Structure 1
Amino acid sequence: MTALPRPAVLATRRTAARKPLPLRWLGFAAVLVVTLAVLLPVLIIVFTAFKPASEVNAYPPTLFPHTWTLDNFRAIFTQLPFARLIGNSFVFAGGVTVFALAFDALAAYALARLDFRGSRVLLIVIIASLMIPFQATLIPIYQLVSDLGWVNTFAGLIAPRAADAFGIFFLRQFFVALPRDLDNAARIDGASEWRIFRSIILPNAVPALLTLGIFTFVNNWNDLLWPLVFTTDQDMGTITSGLTLLTGPGGIIPQGVMMAGALIAVLPLAVMFLLVQRRFIESVASTGLK
């Protein structure tokens, strides 16, 4: 049997690997349907925010507004101190993110790169704490915050979340994967542990820090229970807790105003992700080259 020339073999393999046109169109249609299903709740929020109250409460409901209006956005700023709530959300979520990254990175570095007695036991305790439901510790934490006089303060919102067991474990696993030759060479040159942490470990851990920072900021920005419990003053609330105070005539929730507030709450997260996404990809590509 005569063997085919190499170019002919490659062409045959490409032809066999190429999917028929109907299958490719079927795959494209499946991806499109799934994408629309995922985006449908977002589209409902966007279009409902621009609908007048008559269309929001109309039956049967419609997706696209017949009359576009900005009344819902005006109402959200008149019925609530919404600008103050947005600022509180940035201070709360941003403050927790900054402190959590700092403390989690320091604790993770000690557990991953330093040898000290009890490190394994401490790591097991930290991992075990992840299994404790958040609601089980809410009352003791509130009692402690109340005794310190931190209710309705940013200190009471931020301090109890200034470190996180998941963040410590996540960064510890990333630090363990970094070559020890980097910090061993620095120690031979006389570098201190702080210099090794600041100049070697952190620059190589930018992808992990960005990932953890995004998760921490988003989780705290969207959190409802924590600010709802630790703030009783409306001016100290966040966007999520503030939206629960929206009521219309007869106690009916104005859905259009609610969707306008939800849309404003989503925009900072979308902008942050778009800004960080490119930096995150660059950091992954350059890991270990600094």
Structure 2
Amino acid sequence: MDQSFAIKRDARITREQIQRLHEEANRRALRVRRIRTGILIGLNVVMAVIILLPLLYAVSVAFMPSSELFTTELNLFPANPTGENFAQALVKVPLMRFVLNSFLVAGLITLGQIISCSLAAFSFSFLDFKGKEALFMLVMATMMVPGEATIISNYLTVSSWGWLDSYQVLIVPYLTSAMGIFLFRQFYKSFPISLYESAKIDGCSNLRFIFRILLPLTKSAIGAMAVYTFINAWNMYMWPLLVTGSNEMRTVQIGISMLNSVDAQSITLMIAGVIMVIIPSISIFVIGQKQLIRGMFSGAVKG
């Protein structure tokens, strides 16, 4: 009896020791994971601050009086923050009109590219016609032609049509893009051709198949295309500068340059205008970054 009781007691002690060792190992592993996570978060915060430092300093300058900017001291933060720069920027140039023009132009370009690129990509993906591959290669080849190489010929064309200083000259030349066609085509390639054949057997037309079946299934690609196109259209500079000449038609990128002048005060005014202008594009990027990443990679693997 005493011997069996001693054996059971030793076994119970051994199990308790093993359990304590496991608990100690788990606590040590949890401590290591927390330390590692804290180090990674700290490094990410430091890198984020370094990357965002120019933007943060621009925000600081926007709230800084011009007398504090041009001094012998290094002023990283405004001693007397003021919103006068933003008010003066709105008064000196019709900035809200420029913002409205940019929203209108960028929005219509985005909508036009989604429609035109989806239609072209449908033709290259589901329709079978002679010279399809050669035509697609020709479309892709246009991506290698820089915009500066065609800007003069495009200007002469729209000038002969009498389109200068109008909305159509800002919108129509950008209603389609080879990159958008490629993005939608790669996404459509992940769909089986039997989907289109079944719809045709049921009497579905091509346009109905696109707008009722394809587009609802390609929300990630549409989101990626919308974010990419809107930001590019919002940041256009050379073409609006060339084809617009009045404040009624200028976009924000042209309007910001109008805030720059020879006096020192224009620096803080221009930075304040830049801060107001980049808020919409940054907001759209932050909101749609997941859609942008998902759409860029969703058509890379067929499944």
- Normalised TM-score (structure 1): 0.86
- CA gap of 1:261–1:191, structure 2 versus 1, over 3 A, is same
Shift of 1:82: 0.9
Letter aligned with residue 74 of structure 2: P
How far apart in 1 are the matches of 2:116 and 2:295? Answer: 21
Of 88, 109, 125 in structure 2, the residue corresponding to residue 112 of structure 1 is: 125
- CA gap of 1:164–1:18, structure 2 versus 1, over 3 A, is farther
Counterpart position of 1:198: 211
Of 64, 73, 80 in structure 2, the residue corresponding to residue 60 of structure 1 is: 73
Letter aligned with residue 265 of structure 1: V
Letter aligned with residue 188 of structure 1: I
Shift of 1:56: 2.1
2:77 aligned with 1:77: no
Counterpart position of 2:102: 89
Q: Is the 8 A contact 2:125 2:189 kept in 1?
A: yes
Shift of 1:198: 1.1
- CA gap of 1:143–1:17, structure 2 versus 1, over 3 A, is farther
Unaligned residue ranges in structure 1 (runs of 5+): none
Identity %: 32
How far apart in 2 are the matches of 1:118 and 1:18? Answer: 64
Of 254, 258, 265 in structure 1, the residue corresponding to residue 277 of structure 2 is: 265
Of 111, 115, 135 in structure 1, the residue corresponding to residue 148 of structure 2 is: 135
Shift of 1:81: 1.0
Counterpart position of 2:243: 230
How far apart in 1 are the matches of 2:271 and 2:48? Answer: 21
Q: Is the 8 A contact 1:153 1:231 kept in 2?
A: yes
Question: Secondary structure of the equivalent of 1:104?
Answer: helix
**Structure of higher CA gyration radius:** 2
Shift of 1:244: 1.2
How far apart in 2 are the matches of 1:241 and 1:96? Answer: 18
Shift of 1:29: 2.4
Letter aligned with residue 45 of structure 1: A
Q: Is the 8 A contact 1:99 1:163 kept in 2?
A: yes
Q: State which drifts further: 56-65 or 94-103.
A: 56-65
How far apart in 2 are the matches of 1:197 and 1:14? Answer: 56
Letter aligned with residue 268 of structure 2: G
Q: Is the 8 A contact 2:228 2:292 kept in 1?
A: no
- CA gap of 1:254–1:99, structure 2 versus 1, over 3 A, is same
How far apart in 1 are the matches of 2:152 and 2:176? Answer: 18
- CA gap of 1:59–1:271, structure 2 versus 1, over 3 A, is same
2:161 aligned with 1:148: yes
Unaligned residue ranges in structure 2 (runs of 5+): 1-17
Counterpart position of 2:56: 43
Q: Is the 8 A contact 2:223 2:295 kept in 1?
A: no
Shift of 1:234: 2.9
Q: Is the 8 A contact 1:183 1:200 kept in 2?
A: no
Of 268, 271, 286 in structure 2, the residue corresponding to residue 256 of structure 1 is: 268
How far apart in 2 are the matches of 1:90 and 1:21? Answer: 45
Question: Secondary structure of the equivalent of 1:254?
Answer: helix
What RMSD in Å do the two structures reach over aligned CA positions? Answer: 2.9
- CA gap of 1:194–1:28, structure 2 versus 1, over 3 A, is same
- CA gap of 1:32–1:271, structure 2 versus 1, over 3 A, is closer
Shift of 1:170: 1.1
How far apart in 1 are the matches of 2:258 and 2:236? Answer: 15
Question: Secondary structure of the equivalent of 2:119?
Answer: helix
